Each structure stands twice: as structure tokens, then as C-alpha cells.
Structure 1
């Protein structure tokens, strides 16, 4: 390919090798520092908008630093030596900087074009095919970007202006690419434009990173705005907010095998928004009892609406005699099909007093804990994904027979991580000494009420009476 020099501009001399080596060292050290920051951000909760924004910024910075590192390495090594005519040059590694930077020159006098092998790869063209002329090049470009390319080329050829702009192309395989083009006219001895050369760079990955930064920034701003709005709408003081599924349990007592019930909501740390944790107990027409606890993922006033919807549907299906597993399945479809899909963990138990039979199902939720004779254990957990996770989720069902004096503890995930359930099971001796379900709830509040948790938590205690 001819030298890309204007006739009236002397060739620039390469910088000293030592200064370039120093820049490469600084760039690689900075890459390592940015990558360390990115790894720290990656360990955060992936659902946090601020964390996603931080990781997107780090990805963008790494893309730019990797390109800078490769550019400096090329600058240090100097221009590549021409390859022998009989030997084809080795193809650059896929994804490397060299594979994303190509060059071309168009001779205006002969209408000939010369493309580098890398440019064929960027545009997805067969290297055996002839390079496209300037008149043919727009055929690869998206319709809306063609005027931009035409204007850049016209300004270069007519007014001898440098080219510096981007356009989008669609490769023959249908894959879109964003290409950044920089070039200059090559002048003849009379000052006329004899040819045009250009360097074309595939910046698709860089633009995707920049788009991700914008999207995560906007998401973070929306999240912060929603949080501020939620704080304004949350009634003060916090205790005055009446949420569905947290009221007093008014289940009739009496009869052999009946349940003594008590429940409580343990609020999150001061300053946290109200969450979607609930508990509920419902006397069914056939004499059975429906117990449930759950937690909708999210915060703020909108969660109260979703909680009311979930509880209303749960109670309605329970009154109709729906088994817990089927009930979980239909609730999952309901939340998944909602205009604003929600996710929830839930546990639903149906108790039959005459046989003391407990049947339950769960959806991404901690299993019930059973306390008997001063010891406690976790009941087996049937299969069940979060409610709202997908229309094809399966839900299993389990069954156990309780005895007089047994105590059943249901709690939401916000109380503590599941791997620390031993703390709850360790309360078995104190529960054995308790006379009522309410005494057990007081014990739970004493132990866990001041833990400064991030989420609201609900506990429901059911004790089988003689």
C-alpha cells in the first residue's frame, strides 16, 4: 500500500523507545488497578443499580486501556515490514486490537482500491473478493448512516478535509458493527486530490460498553429517584403504616388438636424502606387452617399493593380447597403475568386438626422448623422456585403428622440466613418451657429483634394444643 502521506507534509519521526516503554508500563499498571476495582464491584449484589453502573464504567475503562496498550506497543515497534508477495501474512488473533483495525486506500485516478486483510475481517468480506470502491462502500452501511459517510468522503475529496467519524455496517452474516473511520486525502504535485487513505477501526465493543454505562447510569438515577419518592410516601412514624399480612391473628381456638397462634413482624434497621414481608392465618370452611409467610422482593409503597394482591389470591384459593402445591403454582403464574412482574418467596401450610396432619409447599423460602420435646429440626423442603420466576416452575408438596405440644415456627428469609438456622433450633429448650405461642414469639423478639437487619422479617408460631 502506498505511503499515507500528503505531498506537502514530511514524514514524522517515531518517539524515543524509552518514553514509549514508560507509557506502556504506566498503562498496564493502571489496567491492573482498574481491574482490581472491577473485581471488587463484581462481588457486590448484582441487583444493585449502583453496582451495575460501577462495573459498566470499569468495563469501559478497561476497553480503552487495552486499546491504548496495543497502540503504544505498535508505536514502539514501528511500522510493520511489508510481507513477501508470495507469503500470506498471519491472521491476527480474534478479538485483538490488530483484528479490529484495518486500512484502505482508494486511487481516484485509476479507481483502484487496496484493503488490508484486517479490514476484510472487520467488514466480513471474503479476502479473495476485490475490495469495494468508494462508490460501492455505502452498500454495506445502514441506510440511516449512508448520508453521514457520503458527507465525510465528499468533504475529504472536494475540500481536502480529514475524515473522522463513525457509521454502522451490517456484515453478510447479519452481524452489525460500528466502525470508526479516520483518513486524509493524498495530494499530487499540483495540490489536487489523487487518492484517499483511511484507517477503519471496529469500535462495536467500546460502544456497547458506553451504552451499558449510560443504561446503568439512567437505571441508577431512576432507582435513586424512586427511593426518594418512596421515602416521601412512606408514612411517619413507621409503626403507623398498616400493611396487609401483618395484622393480629384472629383465628378461633378450641378443640383437640387446634392451634395456639402468635405472630410478629420484626422491622428492618432504622431508615430502611418498608419491605414486603407478611404472615397470615386463615380458618377454612372444612375446619382446616391455612398458614402462610412470605416476602416480596422490593421496597416502598408499591410492594404493599403486590402483597395485598398475593394475599388476596392466596386466601381465595385456600378457601376453595386448593392444595398448597397447586396454590403455589397458580400464585407463580399470577405474579409472572402481572403488568409489573414481581418475585416473592413464600411458604404455605394447611393443617387438619382431627388428624394433626400438616401439608405444605414452598417457593424459594426457608423450610418450617418443628420443635418437639426440647429439640428442634428443619422439615424436608419440597421443590419450589420463587413466585413469579417463570410460568413453567414446578412445586412439590410434603406432609407430616404433628403431636400434642409440638411447636411449628415459620419465618421469612429476612430473619437470618438459612445457614444460621442453628440459632433458631438452639431455642428449643426455651420453647419447651413456654406456656403459649405468644411466649415463644417474645423469645424470638428478645433474640432477634435488635439485630439491625436490612429487611423486614416475619415470624409465625403455631403450637398444637392438647
Structure 2
């Protein structure tokens, strides 16, 4: 709006009721934002989490901006500062310019402290609006300089030392910001351009502050620059909050990029290691005994970023037996999938070499103990002999296979075995069970059936066993897997899971 110094008509302030309504709205909004900020701090689980830092920085910035808005509205309510005297011969650089800025002199002391006006705590500030906005005028005809009291406070300069001239002002400005100030002053004095820019100063007490300077030249009757006036505002906290938002946002974006990259690597590694077959895998042994029809499926966690160390595998061994295994390593991401790949590779190699399930579990336990990335894991390893239709199996802290026969299901009795990587030199027992043509085995990791009631909650296992009638009527192993996925795959799960169904042919 036109400068009050040279306006050809008095400014028309808004109605008091309108300003009061805006102040009330700002107070309510400021209180709401401050409550959100407090909750963001209280609910924080990780001080170093980029998302938490970004949320707090945004709240702090919003509070700073609302504090400034509230102070400005309060100043508007108080009214225009007292009119300073000015030489009658002077006139504005452009009397018709709608972008003129009002000169700011002493603001009445009733302006509220930012934050206090809204009934809640505010971030550390340099003080009220009184100490954050000041004005100055440099008269080029008389060399007189006038500073408002607030400007002395902003610069940390004692009033008895007097105001600084335009030549002295750069001595308190950062060296790299001095060209910015010089350009603004030169453009104003020589070309008559308005001033609008920022620079940093080092106060007399050593504190660094960021100032936003706006102003205009004042012309005499001949159109020559007679003086320059400016309003200087301390925006240090506002800029600091903006910088915190940018830095926390960049940190959050970087972390998300790293997470996406790690997830892609984990998925690719998992797909490279898990069985390449899709659908059923039939073991056609040349000797006596029925073949096996096998199908498996991986169920991801509700959070797509939680790619874990679950595996399932079926392998025809050189002696005609079949290897059947499922397992789960602790952790998620590339670390878990790489450890899973190492463990599954070792398991396949030892099974091909003829090592029995119990001894094989012991070797895997030793392998995890000496691994560069320590981890715990549960696993189950089965070796099926089609000639005798015998399943020999061992487990390491893993759910037992479920055997479905004649339309009913039950869990096999588990042989002793602790988690892999938990105890040095652990021994693992083996158990044997004879399978009949038409039998169905369901092998799975604990993420499939884990309930919400802790380790003793077997509701998931009961749900799986209740599928017996449906599984009995399935056409093949793949149809059985589909039934399990339909039952368990829709509900959100905290962890990923694997399921593998083995059908003994007739």
C-alpha cells in the first residue's frame, strides 16, 4: 500500500471486528499446531528417524509463521505508529506505486509476545515483535541517520554509540553477504529501485542473525535521491526452521530411496534363490513308490518393505529321495535374504551329499554361529524315501508339518531341536513317519499361523486344520495352496510367510 509518509489520502484500516476475528482464528490454529508438535515429540520412538525429524521441523516452522502472523495482526489492531516529521519538499519515488511499504517506527508495547498470545509455549525466540522489526533512514543531503530503538536491539548495538551510516553498515555483515547489501543499496540510490533482500550480520555479542531488509528511496522536488528508508526484520528463527524442514525432507527422501533400493535387491535375491518352478513340481522316481506333487507360495507382509528370510524348497536328490524344507531367519531386507540364500545353498549341498536331516540341522546351526551376520532361524528339513514311503525329518524351533489324511488333519509330534544359531553344539533329533497314498503334508513358516495372543496362541493352526474338508476335495497340490492363500492371504500380517503343500500320489 502507499507509504503513509506521502499518501495523498489517509489509509483506511480494516474494521476492528475483522482483525479481532483473524486474531482469534490465528490463536486457535496456533494452539492446534502446537498440540500436534507436542504429540510428534511425545510419540517419537526414534530420535534419529528422518520422518520424525521432518514432522517436527514442519511443526516448528508452522509455529514460527503463525507467531509472526499473530504479532502482525496485533500490531494492525493497535493502529498505525505515530507520524514522523518529514521535509515538505520531499515526495515519493512513485506516488502511484501500489507496492510501497509503510515505514515502521516504534511499535506500541502492547504487542503480545509470540506464543504467549496463544496460550501455549513457543520456540526460543529473540524476543517479541519489538526486538524483531526496526526501521532506519539515511538522509543523503544532511548525512543524518536515524534508527528506531528496535533496530539497535536487532544489531545488539548500544543507543549511545549512535546509528551506523551506510558506509559503516557492511562492517557487521558477513563477508559473502556484503556484495548483496551493496547491490541493494546501490540499486536504490542510483536507479531508484526498491530494496528487498536478506543478509546475515554478526552482532556485537557474537550472535549471528539473518535480516530481511525492505525499503525505498525518497526523492526531492527535482527527482534526485534525497534519502533512503528501510524496514529490517530479524528472520533468523524462520529461516532456521525452513532450513530444518529442507534438511529433514532431504534426509527422509534419501532414506526412502535407500529403502526402495534395498527392497529391490532383496526381492531380486529372494526370487533368484527360491524354487524357480511355478505350480506343481512332480517327482517321477524310477523305482517303486508313488511320486510327490508339490506346490508352494510366498506371502508378503502387510508392509511391502518387510522382505524377510523365509524360504521353501523341494529338490529331487540323486539317490531318488526328495528334499522338502521350509525355514525362516530373523530380520528383514538384504541382510536377511542374503543370509537365507547362504543357508539354503548350504542345506541343498549337504542334502545332495546324503547328510541326514538331524545332522544337517546341526551343521546349519554351526554355520549360523560363525556367520559374519549373526542371526537366529527356525527351519524344518524332511527327506522322503518313495520306496518305503517314509518321511524322516528334523526341526529347529519350527512349527511341525500338518498331516491331512481321510478328511482330517493333525500336527506331527516334533523331535527335539532348538533355534538355529541359539546354542553352540546343539544336537537335533530325527523323527520318522510313514505316509500313505493320498496323504497331504502342509509345511509352513510361523508367519502364516501366528496369532495375536502370544506364543501360546494356536488359533492360526486350528484355522489351517479346519481346511481339511476343502483340501481333501482339491484336485492337486496347487489347488491346496490356493485354498490356504485364500484363507490366510487376505488378512494383514506383521511378517512374511511361506507355505508348501506336498501330496503323496496314489
TM-score normalised to the size of structure 1?
0.52
Paired residue secondary structure (1:331): coil
Paired residue secondary structure (2:238): helix
Deviations along 1:20-73, whole A, 9 cap, x unmatched? 212223333454566678789998999999998888666655443332221010
Query: Which structure 2 residues correspond to residues 287-436 of structure 1 after superposition, within 5 A?
Result: 293-297=329-333, 309-311=338-340, 327=371, 330-331=372-373, 347-348=376-377, 411=446, 420-422=453-455, 424-425=457-458
Paired residue secondary structure (1:26): helix
In structure 1, the residue matched to 2:186 is 154
Please say if 1:200 is aligned against 2:239. Answer: no
Structure 1 residue 197, shift from structure 2 partner: 2.7
| Residues in 2 aligned to 1:308 and 1:34: alpha-carbon distance in whole angstroms | 42
Contact 1:245–1:278 (Cα < 8 Å) also in 2: no
Q: Go from structure 1 to structure 2 and tell me whether the alpha carbon gap of 1:181 and 1:421 turns closer, same or farther (over 3 Å shift).
A: same
Query: Which structure 2 residues correspond to residues 92-103 of structure 1 after superposition, within 5 A?
Result: 95=125, 96-98=127-129, 99-103=131-135
Structure 1 residue 217, shift from structure 2 partner: 7.2
Please say if 1:135 is aligned against 2:167. Answer: yes
In structure 2, the residue matched to 1:335 is none
| Residues in 2 aligned to 1:429 and 1:422: alpha-carbon distance in whole angstroms | 14
Paired residue secondary structure (2:20): helix
- 1:279 aligned to 283, 294, 310, which one? 310
Structure 1 residue 457, shift from structure 2 partner: 0.6
TM-score normalised to the size of structure 2?
0.49
| Residues in 1 aligned to 2:364 and 2:491: alpha-carbon distance in whole angstroms | 40
Structure 2, unpaired ranges of 5+: 85-108, 115-123, 277-295, 314-324, 348-362, 381-393, 401-410, 432-443, 467-479, 501-506
| Residues in 2 aligned to 1:454 and 1:404: alpha-carbon distance in whole angstroms | 31
In structure 2, the residue matched to 1:449 is 488
In structure 1, the residue matched to 2:16 is 17
Q: Go from structure 1 to structure 2 and tell me whether the alpha carbon gap of 1:404 and 1:323 turns closer, same or farther (over 3 Å shift).
A: closer
Deviations along 1:405-432, whole A, 9 cap, x unmatched? 8xxx9756xx699964257455688999
- 1:266 aligned to 299, 321, 342, which one? 299
Query: Which structure 2 residues correspond to residues 215-254 of structure 1 after superposition, within 5 A?
Result: 243=271, 246-247=274-275
Paired residue secondary structure (1:243): helix
Paired residue secondary structure (2:373): helix
| Residues in 2 aligned to 1:173 and 1:401: alpha-carbon distance in whole angstroms | 72
Q: Go from structure 1 to structure 2 and tell me whether the alpha carbon gap of 1:196 and 1:230 turns closer, same or farther (over 3 Å shift).
A: same
Structure 1 residue 293, shift from structure 2 partner: 0.8
Paired residue secondary structure (1:64): helix
| Residues in 2 aligned to 1:164 and 1:66: alpha-carbon distance in whole angstroms | 22
Q: Go from structure 1 to structure 2 and tell me whether the alpha carbon gap of 1:452 and 1:281 turns closer, same or farther (over 3 Å shift).
A: closer
Q: Which has the larger radius of gyration?
A: 2
Structure 1 residue 375, shift from structure 2 partner: 13
